[in-house]
Structure 1
Amino acid sequence: MTLKKQIPNILTLLNLLSGTIAVIFAVNNELELAAYLVFLGIFFDFFDGFAARLLNVQGELGKQLDSLADVVTSGVVPGIVMYKLLQTKNSIELFNTEIVSWKSQEVELVPFFGLLITLAAAYRLAKFNIDERQTSSFIGLPTPAAALVVLSLPLIINYSSFDFATNLIEDKWFLIGITVVLSILMNAEIPLFSLKFKDYSWKKNKVKYVFLILTVVLVIGLQFIAIPLVILLYILLSIFF
């Protein structure tokens, strides 16, 4: 087996490695470092497919390996990060079942709700592998996009000067809502465009170019707050066009 055929798989394994290290940081409450590693993993995730198409070495092994890596980087990590964000000392009462006693220790139940993102991501990736409709576009929000939203939240808290945004993110009901919405969007029957380019003409890629231009403008103007707005823009442009 030639090295050429293994280049996309090596990039996919780098995605998996980034996600695995991010899990360690997330568990240790180093959410900022976890976020940067997930961003790195998503970078590798984008270029493994690009490399496979460029080298014409696409295959079933790469497809399965890619989804397995994404389960970690775009599923397990955002689930743990959401768990950590929901895990606060000043917790709210939720259905009177938030605190339980186990072996003389109190266990907070609400943060585990964040792991719904992990389950939804795994289900979406399994569907993707057997769905022949998603060769040139997506049906449902891609797991990396959902992961970007979640991983942007601790960065917004740390770096944003917008008090409204940070206060919103620190509200448990908002986080629960984000968890539910992202889990639904990942598995919804919503057609979304892909950033794969068959050619680079304006006519055939107008929506993609508009999206990329607006993304740059938002990131320059709003920095980390732009990330969830970019994902919202992605969904809206897909629906309208």
Structure 2
Amino acid sequence: MKSWIPNFVTLLNLFCGCAAIICILDLRFIPAFWFLFASGWFDFADGLVARALNVSSEHGKELDSLADMVSFGVVPAMIYYVLLLLPVDLAPASPPAITWSWYAAPALFVALFSALRLAKFNLDTRQSENFLGVATPTSTVYATGLMLIVATNPDWAPYVLSRWVLYPSILIMSFLLVSEYPMFSFKLKGFGWAGNETKYIFAALAIGLLTVLWTSAFPFIVVVYLILNLAFPPPSSAKQPL
């Protein structure tokens, strides 16, 4: 019975992801952000609970991937889709009709490539301490950051809503999701400096960006993460059981 406790936490991740989609389609971007924040927390917590209870199952691993596909695959695709529908000079307070649009359809590439990413990760034996390609939560943080800028920063919102920003963001993130380029994870090798240099530098830069830009910081934090990985690529390693 206790093996279902981590699964329940995983289902909370899925529930919050579904709720975030509803909020995004309603152009309620701030509640969507908090649902996504909760999704990320539950995604982290289910593993902690499983280890604390000393339980593990193939069923739980598959359920975790299905929940992640919604929260970190479909959700960012919906964010891009809705942002592409918003005219540059239109605030979320004056919502357009959310309907099918061919020019917004490329946003769905993020969902497709997230599915490929998660399927690949489930079978890949090289990813434990670090990743190959961008993890789906990182892709979601970037998309969520664009959404927050539109919701909270009217001076920057027109730039974010430009198709010259959104289309390249979709294409680059889709490519990075399935790329073979090594990316560091946030697991620390102890608390010393040695072996954690890039992670500590990234943490310091992320805190600095949050302090200066606050809700507008998240896309820039992801860009810094990508630049650090390009400059100091980590080694890949064998994946251990979750």
Using the size of structure 2 for normalisation, the TM-score is: 0.84
Q: 1:109 aligns with which of 102, 106, 124?
A: 102
Unaligned runs of 5+ in 1: 91-105
CA distance 1:230–1:55, shift in 2 (3 Å): farther
Residue 185 (structure 1) aligns with = 176
Alignment pair present for 1:47 and 2:40: no
Task: Check the 8 A contact 2:29/2:151 in 1, yes or no.
Answer: no
Cα distance in 1 between the residues matched to 2:142 and 2:191: 28
Q: 1:155 aligns with which of 124, 148, 156?
A: 148
Runs of 4+ in structure 1 off by over 3 angstroms are 50-56
Alignment pair present for 1:238 and 2:236: no
Cα distance in 1 between the residues matched to 2:228 and 2:58: 31
Alignment pair present for 1:146 and 2:144: no
CA distance 1:174–1:43, shift in 2 (3 Å): same
Identity %: 38
CA distance 1:200–1:158, shift in 2 (3 Å): same
Deviates more, 1:126-135 or 1:60-69: 60-69
Alignment pair present for 1:224 and 2:215: yes
What does the per-residue CA deviation read over 1:169-209, in whole Å, with 9 as the maximum and x for residues that have no partner?
12123211111111111111111111123532322322222
1:30 shift after superposition: 2.0
Amino acid at match of 1:124: R
CA distance 1:7–1:238, shift in 2 (3 Å): farther
1:60 shift after superposition: 2.4
> Which is helix-richer, 1 or 2?
1
Residue 30 (structure 2) aligns with = 32
What does the per-residue CA deviation read over 1:42-101, in whole Å, with 9 as the maximum and x for residues that have no partner?
1211222233345443442222111111110111111112111111458xxxxxxxxxxx
Count of residues in Structure 1 that have an aligned counterpart in Structure 2: 223
CA distance 1:60–1:107, shift in 2 (3 Å): closer
Residue 82 (structure 2) aligns with = 84
Cα distance in 2 between the residues matched to 1:62 and 1:107: 35
Q: RMSD value over aligned CA atoms?
A: 2.2
Unaligned runs of 5+ in 2: 89-98, 233-242
CA distance 1:217–1:32, shift in 2 (3 Å): same
Amino acid at match of 1:240: A
Cα distance in 1 between the residues matched to 2:100 and 2:73: 23
Amino acid at match of 1:34: A
Q: 1:71 aligns with which of 48, 69, 72?
A: 69
Task: Check the 8 A contact 2:72/2:140 in 1, yes or no.
Answer: yes
1:31 shift after superposition: 2.7
Residue 17 (structure 1) aligns with = 15
Residue 94 (structure 1) aligns with = none
1:37 shift after superposition: 0.9
Task: Check the 8 A contact 1:39/1:148 in 2, yes or no.
Answer: no
Cα distance in 2 between the residues matched to 1:186 and 1:112: 18
Q: Secondary structure at the match of 1:110?
A: coil
Using the size of structure 1 for normalisation, the TM-score is: 0.84
CA distance 1:63–1:136, shift in 2 (3 Å): farther
Cα distance in 1 between the residues matched to 2:38 and 2:213: 21
CA distance 1:24–1:232, shift in 2 (3 Å): same
Task: Check the 8 A contact 2:189/2:196 in 1, yes or no.
Answer: no
